[in-house]
Chains A and B, each alone.
Chain A
Amino acid sequence: MTENNFSLKKIEISVSEAEKRSGRNAVNMQETYTAYLVETRSVEHIDGQSVLTDSLWRRYSEFELLRSYLLVYYPHVVVPPLPEKRAEFVWHKLSADNMDPDFVERRRIGLENFLLRVASHPILCRDKIFYLFLTQESNWKETVNETGFQLKADSRLKALNATFRVKNPDKRFTELKHYSDELQSVISHLLRVRARVADRLYGVYKVHGNYGRVFSEWSAIEKEMGDGLQSAGHHMDVYASSIDDILEDEEHYADQLKEYLFYAEALRAVCRKHELMQYDLEMAAQDLASKKQQCEELATGTVRTFSLKGMTTKLFGQETPEQKEARIKVLEEQINEGEQQLKSKNLEGREFVKNAWADIERFKEQKNRDLKEALISYAVMQISMCKKGIQVWTNAKECFSKM
């Protein structure tokens, strides 16, 4: 479903608020959930002013529904991922609770990011269901379900089967799948270790806070040393409390990494689709070849392969020429059909590969840009942390010098 509604206008999307709600769920049980306010603004060309055009509330499950839909209808697109459902890779101070305000806040940002990515995608932005997601609060779920996209979805079993049995997938996709597996593994590892690093760093900073108290107590029994100790102790307190903000900022970096961790899964989905289509094609070609062979055998009377018909013929006697004619006719029809199908499947396959690869190239550029920026902002965070550290210890040193 496409709609050219806003490919011409510039729009701004934001997920501006999050609210706790309670209501009854599908099995009529009371539940609490968070609703997010999705606001759309159109930007007038002339004066750059934005006008609020739509504003509605969505919950996480509706975002999930939207994404599932997009995955089915745009299998050749690397569909942007959603922020994580449950908090993972947390370091100890960070809450793993979904209702925790910090988690909700980071999720709000993640959901906004998701919508922005979809809106800036050349193909996805034109989708009608996406448009309705932003504009039609009521009955949107029904509308999506009415598209019947769930039925169109490939079964996991089919996909798995295809992955194992496909003979000639495009090499690029095989490499890409391998890459996305490795990427997923390395980013997971990175996020796990980073969480432990954050934990340890927290410990180091916080223990310094103890100096504050003991210096204060010590200064009470000292004459000339007292003031210097006391004020140095204060700086130790400052040092200890500075880690909270530092690590909060670092969570943003972790979120950027997580997005690409989940993007790896989206890449794999595209590869799987290719494998499925290729396998389908190979099966169709194989089927066609066997039908052609059967036809040939019937026509020439030679039996090269075992067939049930051949067996029964032997047992119960040859079939009549009419029966044979009839069968040949059926087969020829099937062969014709098969050849047409093969042709269109081939075409489809090539289209898919072309489009998918174009989107993958687009994705690669985006990934390189985004991750470079993420690394730069991480380095900037580290620099800021170092500068703060130098500041605090320089202040403490001055206090000590006055002892």
Chain B
Amino acid sequence: MSGGPPKALPSTGPHSLRDMPHPLAGSSSEEAVGGDSTPSPDLLMTRSFGDKDLILPNGGTPAGTSSPASSSSLLNRLQLDDDIDGETRDLFVTVDDPKKHVCTMETYITYRITTKSTRVEFDLPEYSVRRRYQDFDWLRNKLEESQPTHLIPPLPEKFVVKGVVDRFSEEFVETRRKALDKFLKRITDHPVLSFNEHFNVFLTAKDLNAYKKQGMALLTRVGESVKHVTGGYKLRSRPLEFAAIGEYLDTFALKLGTIDRIAQRIIKEEIEYLVELREYGPVYSTWSALEGELAEPLEGVSACIGNCSTALEELTDDMTEDFLPVLREYILYSDSMKSVLKKRDQVQAEYETKLEAVALRKEDRPKVPADVEKCQDRMECFNADLKADMERWQNNKRQDFRQLLMGMADKNIQYYEKCLTAWESIIPLLQEKQEAK
């Protein structure tokens, strides 16, 4: 898009006036929205802060437009299959290397964000910056503001009760790092969000704080207008498909909550079992000290129980660090999705109310005024975006849970295998015939 008057928004949904193919439909992505298929050079060059002429926060290559580097890769990226061919991706983001910073006022952790991209939106092929949780939180808020019609992935929980959880323990930091990594990867995988201006800045800026202080939210038109919806409109009824989504999310969150409680309970019981085992093993050792011929077998049993205890501890640690956080993430996800649904309802309500008002004016030639048309636009965009995102979300959710639950099964299998090895190895020791003492 060149620097002309803002045209129809690059969104993933069909436009009211143009027939833009749905990117998920898998058809050719050659058709452009609003003409220009390549971003103009000056747009690329003017990615400097404070330039108020920038209008498209999510980059110059709207979904569905072809751009030399990304058309087929876009399609591939939109494939919701897990085994995306690495070569067709053009954006890779990783979160790693947590470091603790001790300052006079506070202590906090930063993470290294490494970005590799061939996209034209990035000046350099590679970036490495350091960010802290606050920065992620800022990014998420900006995304919600600027892309209100899309589902924004959740962040790991912000607040931790001090004293209960050690914010600087290795386990906590690692769990958080994984969640932050997942967060960025989900954005990276999103055909619209990954082109978001704020996201780009987050990945590349040396001084993020300066940018933050800008204060100028680069909102899309939809964003602007959605923000301005005062919310005073009442929705008559949610269309069936969105009602179904709402109901689904409600039940889904409920079930996840139950699973979270069960998982926590299991971990609690396992820890209590571990406590007893840690007392149980050594008693065999004590007994072994009293005996002659039985000393070795008893000592062997003691060591065996010790090994099983260690294996159990590993299991509970893994479940706490890898399983529970992902569950919680999805609960947060579905909560934020429900609020997006509500916003959609608002947009629809506004449109319907305004439409009704027009209908009641009893003009001989009821012409749909421009602003009502705009409302309809907004609503249809929103609906399309949401539907597309829902489908993507459903597929990702399926993969994520498949992986999560298989992981849980795996961890349990590994635990039992370790115990099995321990017990099988002492059988020969127990059966050994000893010299008469």
Contact A221 B252, CB 8 Å, known A200-B273, A394-B413:
yes
Contact B294 A400 (CB under 8 A): no
Measured CB to CB, the closest approach of chain B to A90, in angstroms, equals 15
Query: A376 an interface residue at 8 Å Cβ cutoff?
Result: yes
Query: A51 an interface residue at 8 Å Cβ cutoff?
Result: no
- Name the interface residues of A377-403: CB closer than 8 Å to any CB of B: 378-380, 382-383, 386-387, 389-390, 393-394, 396-397, 400-401, 403
Query: A189 an interface residue at 8 Å Cβ cutoff?
Result: yes
Query: A347 an interface residue at 8 Å Cβ cutoff?
Result: no
Contact A379 B423 (CB under 8 A): yes
Contact A379 B301 (CB under 8 A): yes
Query: A153 an interface residue at 8 Å Cβ cutoff?
Result: no
Query: A211 an interface residue at 8 Å Cβ cutoff?
Result: yes
Query: B405 an interface residue at 8 Å Cβ cutoff?
Result: yes
Chain A residues, Cβ within 8 Å of B259: 211, 214, 218
The segment out of A19-27, A110-118, A161-169, A180-188 that lies at the interface is A180-188
Measured CB to CB, the closest approach of chain B to A20, in angstroms, equals 36
Contact A183 B423 (CB under 8 A): no
The segment out of A190-198, A296-304, A311-319, A337-345 that lies at the interface is A190-198
Chain B residues, Cβ within 8 Å of A197: 273, 276-277, 280
Chain A residues, Cβ within 8 Å of B398: 224-225, 403
Contact A400 B255 (CB under 8 A): no
B interface, over-half SS = helix
Within the assembled complex, what's the spacing in Å between the Cα atoms of A232 and B401? Answer: 13
Chain A residues, Cβ within 8 Å of B276: 193, 196-197, 199-200
Contact A183 B419 (CB under 8 A): no
Contact A207 B430, CB 8 Å, known A190-B287, A390-B416, A400-B409:
no
- Name the interface residues of B216-270: CB closer than 8 Å to any CB of A: 248, 251-252, 255, 258-259, 262, 265-266, 269-270
Contact B401 A207 (CB under 8 A): no
Measured CB to CB, the closest approach of chain A to B428, in angstroms, equals 10
Chain A residues, Cβ within 8 Å of B405: 232, 396, 400, 403
Contact A201 B430 (CB under 8 A): no
Contact A193 B280 (CB under 8 A): yes
Measured CB to CB, the closest approach of chain B to A218, in angstroms, equals 4
Contact A403 B283, CB 8 Å, known A186-B290, A200-B269:
no
Contact A214 B416 (CB under 8 A): no
Within the assembled complex, what's the spacing in Å between the Cα atoms of A24 and B199? Answer: 89
A interface, over-half SS = helix
Query: A120 an interface residue at 8 Å Cβ cutoff?
Result: no
Query: A330 an interface residue at 8 Å Cβ cutoff?
Result: no
The segment out of A10-18, A265-273, A367-375 that lies at the interface is A367-375
Contact B416 A393 (CB under 8 A): yes
Contact A376 B412, CB 8 Å, known A193-B280, A221-B252:
no
Chain B residues, Cβ within 8 Å of A41: none
Contact A207 B266 (CB under 8 A): yes
Q: Count residues of A near B (Cβ-Cβ below 8 Å).
A: 49
Chain A residues, Cβ within 8 Å of B265: 207, 210
Measured CB to CB, the closest approach of chain A to B257, in angstroms, equals 10
Query: A204 an interface residue at 8 Å Cβ cutoff?
Result: yes
A and B contact pairs by CB, cutoff 8 A, 16 listed: A186-B290, A190-B284, A196-B276, A204-B266, A221-B255, A225-B398, A372-B294, A376-B427, A382-B419, A382-B423, A389-B415, A393-B409, A397-B406, A401-B402, A403-B398, A403-B401
Contact B301 A207 (CB under 8 A): no
The 10 closest A-B pairs by CB, nearest first: A397-B409, A200-B273, A386-B420, A389-B416, A400-B405, A218-B255, A203-B269, A393-B412, A204-B269, A403-B402
Query: A217 an interface residue at 8 Å Cβ cutoff?
Result: yes
Chain B residues, Cβ within 8 Å of A379: 301, 304, 423, 426-427, 430
Measured CB to CB, the closest approach of chain B to A376, in angstroms, equals 5
> Which residue on B lies nearest to A189, using beta carbons?
B283
Chain A residues, Cβ within 8 Å of B252: 218, 221
- Name the interface residues of B375-429: CB closer than 8 Å to any CB of A: 398, 401-402, 405-406, 409-410, 412-413, 415-417, 419-420, 423-424, 426-427
Which of B259, B286, B412 has the most A CB atoms < 10 Å from its CB?
Answer: B412
Query: A208 an interface residue at 8 Å Cβ cutoff?
Result: yes
Contact B273 A204 (CB under 8 A): yes
Contact B255 A214 (CB under 8 A): yes
Query: A33 an interface residue at 8 Å Cβ cutoff?
Result: no
Chain A residues, Cβ within 8 Å of B277: 197
Within the assembled complex, what's the spacing in Å between the Cα atoms of A131 and B317? Answer: 61
Contact A211 B279, CB 8 Å, known A218-B255, A400-B406:
no
> Which residue on B lies nearest to A199, using beta carbons?
B276
Contact B287 A186 (CB under 8 A): yes
Within the assembled complex, what's the spacing in Å between the Cα atoms of A225 and B404? Answer: 13
Query: B123 an interface residue at 8 Å Cβ cutoff?
Result: no
Query: A179 an interface residue at 8 Å Cβ cutoff?
Result: yes
B402 touches which of A221, A368, A400 (Cβ 8 Å): A400
> 1/0 per position for A204-248, CB-CB distance to B under 8 A?
100110110010011001001100100010000000000000000
Measured CB to CB, the closest approach of chain B to A187, in angstroms, equals 7
Could you list which residues of chain A lie within 8 angstroms of chain B, going by C-beta atoms? Answer: 179, 182-183, 186-187, 189-190, 193-194, 196-197, 199-201, 203-204, 207-208, 210-211, 214, 217-218, 221, 224-225, 228, 232, 368, 371-372, 375-376, 378-380, 382-383, 386-387, 389-390, 393-394, 396-397, 400-401, 403
Chain B residues, Cβ within 8 Å of A193: 276, 279-280, 283
Contact A207 B416 (CB under 8 A): no
Contact A383 B424 (CB under 8 A): yes
Measured CB to CB, the closest approach of chain B to A183, in angstroms, equals 6
B419 touches which of A186, A194, A386, A401 (Cβ 8 Å): A386
Within the assembled complex, what's the spacing in Å between the Cα atoms of A380 and B415? Answer: 17
Q: A214-B259, A383-B427, A396-B409 are in contact. List 8 more A-B contacts (CB 8 A).
A: A179-B290, A183-B287, A189-B286, A372-B297, A382-B423, A386-B417, A387-B416, A397-B413
> Which residue on A lies nearest to B413, using beta carbons?
A393
Within the assembled complex, what's the spacing in Å between the Cα atoms of A210 and B266? Answer: 10
Contact B430 A376 (CB under 8 A): yes
> Which residue on B lies nearest to A188, using beta carbons?
B283
Contact A368 B416 (CB under 8 A): no
Query: B30 an interface residue at 8 Å Cβ cutoff?
Result: no
Contact B416 A204 (CB under 8 A): no
> Which residue on B lies nearest to A205, using beta carbons?
B269
Query: B431 an interface residue at 8 Å Cβ cutoff?
Result: yes
Contact A211 B262 (CB under 8 A): yes
Query: B19 an interface residue at 8 Å Cβ cutoff?
Result: no
Measured CB to CB, the closest approach of chain A to B302, in angstroms, equals 11
Contact A208 B406, CB 8 Å, known A224-B398, A379-B426, A382-B423:
no
Chain B residues, Cβ within 8 Å of A232: 405
Chain A residues, Cβ within 8 Å of B431: 372, 376
Chain A residues, Cβ within 8 Å of B402: 225, 228, 400-401, 403
Query: B32 an interface residue at 8 Å Cβ cutoff?
Result: no
Within the assembled complex, what's the spacing in Å between the Cα atoms of A317 and B368? Answer: 151
> Which residue on B lies nearest to A206, using beta carbons?
B269
Chain B residues, Cβ within 8 Å of A221: 248, 251-252, 255
Contact A214 B262, CB 8 Å, known A368-B294, A401-B406:
yes
Query: B272 an interface residue at 8 Å Cβ cutoff?
Result: yes
Chain A residues, Cβ within 8 Å of B279: 193
Contact A208 B266 (CB under 8 A): yes
> Which residue on A lies nearest to B281, using beta carbons?
A193
Chain B residues, Cβ within 8 Å of A387: 416, 420
Contact A390 B283, CB 8 Å, known A200-B269, A203-B272, A214-B255:
no
